[in-house]
């Protein structure tokens, strides 16, 4: 029996890409951070230093993954048009997903409380930006674009060729969750990764995943800013009835996305594609 050809990247190659990306940034930033700590400076917070590190390491890893794939730019990063209207059911679904993600976070926090130093570290995402709006742009625009180019671009290009669609979506979602290097965000990020993977696989467009990711991060930001106002909305309060409602909304919207984009579905869900 001849072994079927493996396309780049497979699971192990994807792990290497993620590790390499993290190592490059850490290797450059760590000496600067140590210098800042010993000399009470703030060079790492300077955009003229931090931005080139971030942009340079990102461009390198994207180029590295693209060149090793052996596929064309359009195949690795399919910037295709997609039915924009499917973002409406995605928004409704994402609101319900965040409802459950909040419950997941509360459950994880009850087992492993988030330390204060970790919250302070997360807050530095905004502090290291020249302004609050730049911090928001990094979370809502820049972050989704880069993460989707890596996971729903480079990684899923190989996964959809090596594995069934179901396996490609699930494994890439788990890798996406671990990429955030946050045990309190692992499950919610993986759940989001499944939905974004479905958008990418069903529409054949990385734009759909980028748009969905950006919408999700934007809604998370708004939910934090307007937490008191949103907590007073009855449909969002905790109850068994609302759990049923949100579950129904998630299932309905997932089916809507699947069937609305079925014409673009070139790969079976459970069988490995033949090349």
Q: Give the pLDDT confidence of 113-122 residue by residue, as tens digits.
A: 777 766 665 5
User: How far is it, in rounded angstroms, from Cα 246 to Cα 262?
Assistant: 24
Query: What are the CA-CA distances from residue 111 to residues 106, 107, 151, 185, 210 (Å)?
Result: 9, 7, 29, 14, 32
Of 200, 174, 192, 173, residue with least CA distance to 267:
200
User: How far is it, in rounded angstroms, from Cα 13 to Cα 67?
Assistant: 13
pLDDT in tens, 135-172: 788 889 999 999 999 999 999 999 999 999 999 999 99
| DSSP state string for 147-180 | HHIIIIIIIHHHHHHHS-HHHHHHHHHHHHHHHT
Q: With b meaning 16 or more CB within 10 Å and e meaning fewer, what string describes 36-74?
A: eeeeeeeebeeeeebeeebeebbeebbebbbebbebeee
Q: How confident is the model at residue 95 (pLDDT cuts 50, 70, 90)?
A: confident
User: How far is it, in rounded angstroms, from Cα 99 to Cα 36?
Assistant: 40
User: How far is it, in rounded angstroms, from Cα 89 to Cα 92?
Assistant: 5
Looking at the chain, the whole-number percentage of residues with pLDDT higher than 90 is: 37
Query: What are the CA-CA distances from residue 202 to residues 194, 195, 213, 216, 262 (Å)?
Result: 12, 10, 15, 18, 7
Report the Cα 56 to chain-centroid distance in Å. 20
Average pLDDT, whole number, for the chain?
81
Q: Is the pLDDT of residue 12 over 80?
A: yes
Stronger pLDDT, 3 or 88, i.e. the higher one: 88
Q: What is the pTM of this model?
A: 0.84
Q: Is the pLDDT of residue 233 over 70?
A: no
Of 55, 249, 76, 240, residue with least CA distance to 161:
76
User: How far is it, in rounded angstroms, from Cα 106 to Cα 258?
Assistant: 30
Q: Is the pLDDT of residue 60 over 70?
A: yes
Helix (H, G, I), strand (E, B) or coil at 192: helix
Other C-beta atoms closer than 10 Å to the C-beta of 8 total 19
């Amino acid at each position: 029996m001849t072994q079927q050809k493996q396309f780049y990247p497979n699971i192990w190659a994807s792990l290497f890409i993620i590790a390499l990306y993290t190592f490059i940034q850490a290797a450059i930033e760590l000496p600067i951070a140590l210098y800042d700590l010993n000399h009470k400076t703030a060079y790492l917070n300077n955009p003229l230093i931090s931005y080139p590190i971030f942009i340079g390491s990102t461009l390198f890893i994207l180029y590295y993954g693209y060149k090793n794939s052996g596929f064309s730019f359009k195949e690795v990063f399919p910037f295709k048009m997609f039915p924009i209207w499917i973002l409406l059911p995605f928004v409704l679904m994402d609101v319900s997903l965040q409802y459950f993600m909040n419950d997941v976070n509360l459950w994880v926090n009850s087992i492993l409380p988030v330390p204060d130093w970790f919250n302070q570290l997360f807050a530095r995402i905004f502090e290291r930006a020249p302004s609050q709006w730049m911090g928001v742009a990094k979370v809502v625009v820049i972050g989704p674009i880069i993460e989707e180019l890596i996971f729903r671009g480079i990684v899923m290009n190989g996964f959809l060729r090596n594995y069934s669609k179901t396996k490609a979506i699930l494994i890439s979602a788990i890798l996406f969750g671990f990429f955030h290097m946050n045990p309190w965000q692992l499950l919610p990020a993986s759940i989001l990764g499944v939905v974004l993977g479905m958008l990418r696989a069903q529409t054949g467009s990385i734009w759909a995943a980028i748009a969905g990711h950006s919408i999700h991060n934007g809604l998370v930001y708004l939910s934090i800013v307007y937490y008191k106002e949103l907590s007073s909305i009855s449909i969002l309060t905790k109850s068994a009835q609302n759990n049923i409602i949100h579950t129904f909304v998630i299932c309905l919207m997932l089916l809507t996305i699947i069937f609305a984009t079925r014409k673009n579905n070139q790969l079976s869900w459970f069988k490995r594609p033949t090349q």
